[in-house]
Structure 1
Amino acid sequence: MTDLQPAAREVRLPGQTTASALTDRMRRVAELVAALPGLPPDDGSRYGVRRLTAAWLLEVESQHTEKAYGRDLTTFLHWCATERLDPLSARPTDLGQFRTWRELHSHNGRPAAASTVARALAAVASWYTHLIANSDGLLRHNPVATVRRPKVNQHTSPTAGLTLSEVDALLAAADAQVADRAPAAARTPTGRTRYLAALRDRALLRLLADLGLRISEALDRDLDDLSHNAGHRTLRYRGKGNLLRERPLPAHTLQALDEYLTERATVANIGVNRLTGPLFATTGTDGDGRLAEPNVFLTIRRLASTAGIAAAGRLSPHSLRHAFATGAREVGVPLEDVQDAMGHADPRTTRRYDRDRHNIDRDPAFLLGARRASRTR
């Protein structure tokens, strides 16, 4: 198979955010902060509340956290506006009331999950901490500090799971989609675009299933994050905590990536080594834009439905990450190796992802009993 490693077009560290991506992020944060209610207007001061809020969002470890914190702060400030409460004068009792309100309200009309409420309080607490540390006495106490946080079960996950046979069925549905769209690719521009999208989706799903990446780690990748190391083709990225990671790409993933990149270069009428931009690109009028996370949710659920997977309507990219951990443990990969592959600082986090950990066949009693029996013969 031809090595389709694209040539780098700019000098940058592996997994480093490009200048354009950083500019887009700064613009997004600036727009969010400008729209926040209940804060003093930006007076141009270096340490004004809005400018400090923007700095707080830009300092978090990942764009995923930045967006989640931005949503949580927006929700809190809108609640303050409804309550006619100055957020800079809020007291612990006010934050206790916000916690109760947040527990009773969610986007689906049901009570919010404990993890959702805990994250909201953590976000607001972090925001207050940043203001206290940088605002020259404007705030002296964090009103969230003494608010009781909801208990979050650290041993289970709300993510809908997939068995290994269901993962196989999902990937088979992606293969079938490629085969179904291939005939039309040579007849019309629309057919070719749909075929390219099918190749891209198949490559992305294989990457998620085979490496267990977070969806942000996959979608944030650029073409020059593909590399080589010790005779393997690899993917370089910055994981959670901004840590540099490099993972080998198995043949199953490489086949789909190579076919996708070959077709993408053909559509662009250039050689593969001249491709630039996101690893997983849009295929519409903005043909070199970065694929967005909501599109991946829809693709997974659509293909899962086609595959007859019962939980299709609840699946997410994270379901494939869970399946990676469960599958790795099922075939005997040591916990510490799965932990390293997934980039977890705490092995307890990895165990939450392992849905097969309570399988009775894995009980140590079996192994110890067998060894004891062999000693007493």
Structure 2
Amino acid sequence: MIDQLITIDCDALPSLHDQSPIVQILSYIRSARAERTRVARARDLQDLLNRMSYPGLETLFDMTPEDAMAYRDRMIEDGCSAATVGRRMSTVRSFFKYLTARGWREPGPNPADTAVVPVPRVSKESQTEILSVDEVRRLLATCDLSTIRGLRDRAILLLALHHGLRKDELLNLTHARPSDWSSRPAGGFFGEERGHVTLTIRGKAQRDRIHGVVPSVTDSVRTYLDWSSRDETDTGPLLLKVSRSGDSLPDIPMKPGDIDYLVRRRVRDAGIKRRISPHSLRHSAATRLLECGVELTAVQSFLGHANVTTTMTYLHRLQSIDENPSYRLAW
């Protein structure tokens, strides 16, 4: 229901006035800049409707603190992680805050306010699985470099492992700078600066960061471009789908699910039994940098984190084992 609203254009609803629940929900979802955030908002509100068995959209607007507590408790009972519970409750809070700001709701307490409906604390230590150096090598070795699929997959893995790219940053990469770069919410492009090959990356909140690109990544991307019959001036999506017969499909960009499947398949072929996701590659890059002694603030800039406390989740994981106080005890 709600998750289908993100495909509807507000202009396609001329008969509905501002008080319509559909228009208000759609307006809230569309107020997010990033497509990923819009999708997440739609899914979170749909989850709320499903778990609370609300008969219609109208009843969503009558939520009370007791309803919010019941929703939180049902998620916990169903085994949702603290991070998931926290994110969904945050969506509910921001939804009612948005309604109030637009004048669509009477000013008053937010039914999902954390002062009334506290959420579980999220561990400061990242729970995402990371790869060892040996596992990274095994993962890369699964790519058959005599095929376009193998060349593409190796380029994707190297980009994620060397540059800590988020999935939406990967999917929106181009080789040359696109003409509409200033208006793009996420992505990246290659360039040159003072003799270095560079990768300009746009992440969350349209924050840009620039990385130097090592030869192994540059060569992998260029070889993939050559095999897919494109040159370095191409401003279309860098990563394209590959047909079952092994041919690159021009003008058909990869989707988020394609990246998920690619990583799962390569992890399986590498004989890695743990649950490794595309985000694990980003975590692996950050953790390896910290292991090598790179300053925390430099890793923050590398990853595009707005707040260093986010980056510290990687550091806590290392310190919890490597610098555990138990090693200081000598009885």
Under a length normalisation based on structure 2, what TM-score does the superposition of the two structures give?
Answer: 0.81
1:97 to 65, 70, 92: 70
Distance 1:361 1:308 in 2: 30
Shift of 1:81: 4.1
> 1:82 Cα deviation (Å)?
4.2
Query: 1:132-171 alignment to 2 at 5 Å?
Result: 132-137=100-105, 140-145=108-113, 146-153=116-123, 155-171=124-140
Partners of 1:300 and 1:315 within 8 A in 2: yes
Q: Bigger shift: 70-79 or 223-232? A: 223-232
Tell me the alpha carbon deviations over residues 42-85 of structure 1, each in whole angstroms, 9 at most, x when there is no partner: 74335644333333223325322222221101111233444678
Aligned alpha-carbon RMSD (Å): 2.9
What does residue 183 of structure 2 align with?
none
The CA distance in 1 between the partners of 2:249 and 2:102, in whole Å, is: 41
Match of 2:299? Answer: 338
Query: Does the C-alpha gap of structure 1 residues 244 and 209 become closer, same or farther in structure 2, counting only changes over 3 Å?
Result: same
State the partner residue of 2:169. 217
Higher strand residue share: 2
1:272 paired to 2:225? no
1:80–1:86 Cα contact (<8 Å) kept: no
- CA drift of 1:219 comes to 1.2
1:93 deviates by: 0.4
Matched with 2:259 is: 296
SS of residue paired to 1:247: strand
Task: Tell whether the 8 Å contact from 1:131 to 1:139 is kept in structure 2 after alignment.
Answer: no
- Cα deviation, 1:327-375, whole Å, max 9, x if unaligned, reads 1122221121111101123323223124433454799x99xxxxxxxxx
Where do 5+ consecutive residues of structure 1 fail to align? 1-26, 34-40, 106-110, 183-194, 266-270, 367-377
Q: Which residue of 2 aligns with 1:186?
A: none
Give the alignment partner of residue 356 of structure 1, picking from 318, 321, 328: 318
Contact map agreement 2:175 2:232 (CA 8 A) in 1: no
Match runs of 1:181-196 below 5 Å = 182=146, 195-196=147-148
Separation (CA, whole Å) in 2 of partners of 1:240 and 1:87: 29
- Distance apart, 1:86 and its partner CA: 0.9
Please give the per-residue CA displacement for 1:242-284, whole angstroms capped at 9, x wherever unaligned: 212222221111111000001111xxxxx51453421111134
Distance (whole Å) between structure 1 residues aligned to residue 200 and residue 5 of structure 2: 25
- Give the share of equivalent positions with the same residue, in percent: 28
Map Cα deviations across residues 88-130 of structure 1 (whole Å, 9 max, x no partner).
111110111111122233xxxxx11111111110011111111
List runs of 5+ in structure 2 lacking aligned partners: 177-188
Are 2:236 and 1:281 equivalent residues in the alignment?
A: no
Please give the per-residue CA displacement for 1:182-231, whole angstroms capped at 9, x wherever unaligned. 2xxxxxxxxxxxx2222111101000001111121111223332222232
CA contact (8 A) 2:199 2:213 kept: yes
Specify which structure has the higher proportion of helix: 1
Choose between structure 1 and 2 for higher RCO, CA contacts under 8 A separated by at least 6 residues.
Answer: 1
Query: Relative to structure 1, is the Cα distance of residues 136 and 305 closer, same or farther in structure 2, using a 3 angstrom cutoff?
Result: closer
Could you tell me which of 182, 186, 191 is aligned with 1:227? 191
Q: Give SS of 1:57's match.
A: helix
Q: Taking structure 1 as reference, are residues 76 and 309 closer, same or farther at Cα in structure 2, changes over 3 Å only?
A: same
1:129 partnered with 2:79: no
